[in-house]
Amino acid sequence: MAPGPDPGGGPSATRPGLRRVEQVMGTAISLNLADDLPAAELHELAGDVFAWLREVDARFSTYRADSEVCRVDRGELPLAAAGADLRAVLARCADLWKATDGFFDAYATGRLDPSGYVKGWAVQVASDRLLAAGAANHCLNAGGDVRVRGRSSTGRPWRIGVRHPWDAMSTCLVLAGTDLAVATSGVYERGHHVLDPRRAAPARGLRSVTVVGSDLGLADAYATAAVAMGPAGIGWLDGLPAHRHAVVTDDARLLHSTDLPLA
């Protein structure tokens, strides 16, 4: 919760690295730095990650009336005067709207809400920065959207479970890899809250969609779009270049790409 020293990063840890969890963007964000770096350096890296995520939250949250997103939405801040990040994010959202045939829609709620892309993008940027800073082995999980690089402190590739859609304490699939973005969208959490923007009705048919790629912002948006598409999303995911997927249908069927990086 609160920032500060984490027991995982102390000298008592048998494995190198640092683990820290904080609440940002309305969800829990778990960071696992697996590099064998001096504790002070790890703490600084972790501090940078969470500072960045809090900054994104302050600027992009739809729950904060003073965020850039809300000010642009109300017309108070001209888009041209907004930050480069926001302009880039909105450009990506427009691309995604086209790529998903309108199913990813930053205006689905009737007002500007790029949240479906922002969280994954923010985590991806944080991971890119860690890599550039020399922390090549890390795992960053923001509310179930995961970016892993390198290996865990055990020395093996990161193992990423996909949550069982009917059991929060179980996984239904285990992936492994050294460079993966894994995003899962599902209706089990808040009911059928994903809207089919075309019918303006809750999407049905797919209980959980996991997309695996290299960019977490894209993976997250694709997963959300596929849930909105319902059963047709399965075929759409299959045609998506450079991405793998796993789908659990409302009637408890699990389907996935044959080349999904299973553990």
145 binds another protein (CB under 8 A): yes
Mask: binding to another protein, 174-213, rule CB under 8 A, as x and -?
Answer: xx------xxxxxxxxx-----------------x-x---
Neighbours of 151 (CB within 10 A): 18
DSSP conformation letters of 111-157: S--THHHHHHHHHHHHHHHHHHTT--SEEEEETTEEEEESB-TTSSB
Quick check: 172 binds another protein (CB under 8 A)? yes
Query: For residues 245 and 229, what is the distance between their CA atoms, to the nearest angstrom?
Result: 15
Candidate list 143, 197, 217, 233; residue touching another protein; CB under 8 A? 143
Instruction: Please pick, from the candidates 16, 30, 85, 232, the single residue that binds another protein as defined by CB under 8 A.
Output: 30
Residue 191 CB, nearest distance to another protein (Å)?
Answer: 10
DSSP per-residue letters across 22-88: EEETTEEEEEEE-S---HHHHHHHHHHHHHHHHHHHHHH-SS-TTSHHHHHHTTSS-GGGS-HHHHH
The rounded distance, in Å, linking the Cα atoms of 255 and 263 is 16
Closest separation in Å from C-beta 76 to another protein = 29
Q: Closer CB to another protein, residue 92 or residue 163? A: 163
Place of tokens 């009637």: 251
- Minimal distance in Å, beta carbon 157 to another protein? 9
Please tell me whether residue 109 adopts helix, strand or coil conformation: coil
Q: Is residue 90 close enough to count as binding another protein by CB under 8 A?
A: no
Site for another protein in 239-258 (CB under 8 A): 247-258
Q: What is the DSSP string of 190-204?
A: TSS--EETTTTEE--
Nearer to another protein, 30 or 85 (CB): 30
* Residue 150 amino acid letter: G
Region binding another protein by CB under 8 A among candidate stretches 37-45, 47-55, 92-100, 152-160: 152-160
- What are 101's two structure tokens? 């045939």
CA atoms within 13 A on the CB side of 221: 32
Binding mask 2-21 for another protein (x = CB under 8 A): ------x----------x-x
Query: Could you tell me which stretch among 36-44, 88-96, 121-129, 140-148 binds another protein (CB under 8 A)?
Result: 140-148
Q: Is 127 in the site for another protein (CB under 8 A)?
A: no
What gap in Å lies between CA 41 and CA 112, rounded to an integer?
A: 38
**Site residues, another protein (CB under 8 A):** 8, 19, 21, 23, 26-28, 30, 32, 139, 141, 143-146, 148, 152, 158-175, 182-190, 208, 210, 238, 247-258, 260, 262-263
